[in-house]
Amino acid sequence: MVEAATRSPTSSAPEQRGRSHALSLPNILTYSRCVAVPLVAACLFWSDILAGGLWLRWVALALYIAAAVTDFFDGYLARAWSQQSAIGRMLDPIADKLLVSTCLLMFASDGTIRGWSLWAAIVILCREILVSGLREFLAELRVSVPVSRLAKWKTTLQLVAVGVLITGPAGESVLPGVNLVGLTLLWVSAVLTLYTGYDYFRAGARHLVEDER
């Protein structure tokens, strides 16, 4: 019994560290970005349903900007304070993809993007799914695929394009042509998405072939 008592504090130490990292400020910022996804979607949905609901577009934009800002600070603070955690590494890219994908689906629903512009959204969504599947496969082989500088620019451009398009008719009433700017940025980010997606696939193709052999 004495031996068990002396081992108890030691065995619980990793569990306590895990709980403290799970509730660290960087992870809380990541959680808040996940929570912002349904809130932004709800604002976009009700802005078209309610009479005079265009003000909800600005609420959605404010929530979106706040979520995008946390994307920078959660990683920065985690590195600065040495609070990197497994849950943070898992949720951080997922939160980004959820935010962008949800907004693109809402844009397709309310007609913000339509016609040929839908293909830009399809390219972005398909690339994110394919790269996520590739990363999961390579993770099983203990192969890491680092994020390139161009991929970071692609992500930034996507976030800006989606932010511009969130304003929708509310933005057009203030600055005519703003949606055209957003669609142009969306197409540019779609082209970068294709290139970076091919870059990731090329980096992982060798491991895929070796695994088949």
Instruction: Summarize pLDDT for 169-195 with one digit per residue, the tens.
Output: 898 988 899 999 999 999 999 999 888
pLDDT of 207 higher than 80: no
User: Residue 2: pLDDT band by 50, 70, 90 thresholds?
Assistant: very low
Give the chain's mean pLDDT: 80
pTM: 0.80
Least confident piece of the model among 22-26, 36-40, 73-77, 102-106: 73-77
Task: Write the secondary structure of 178-204 as one string of H (helix), E (strand) and C (coil).
Answer: HHHHHHHHHHHHHHHHHHHHHHHHHHH
How much of the chain exceeds pLDDT 90, in percent? 32
Residue 8: count of CB within 10 angstroms of its CB = 10
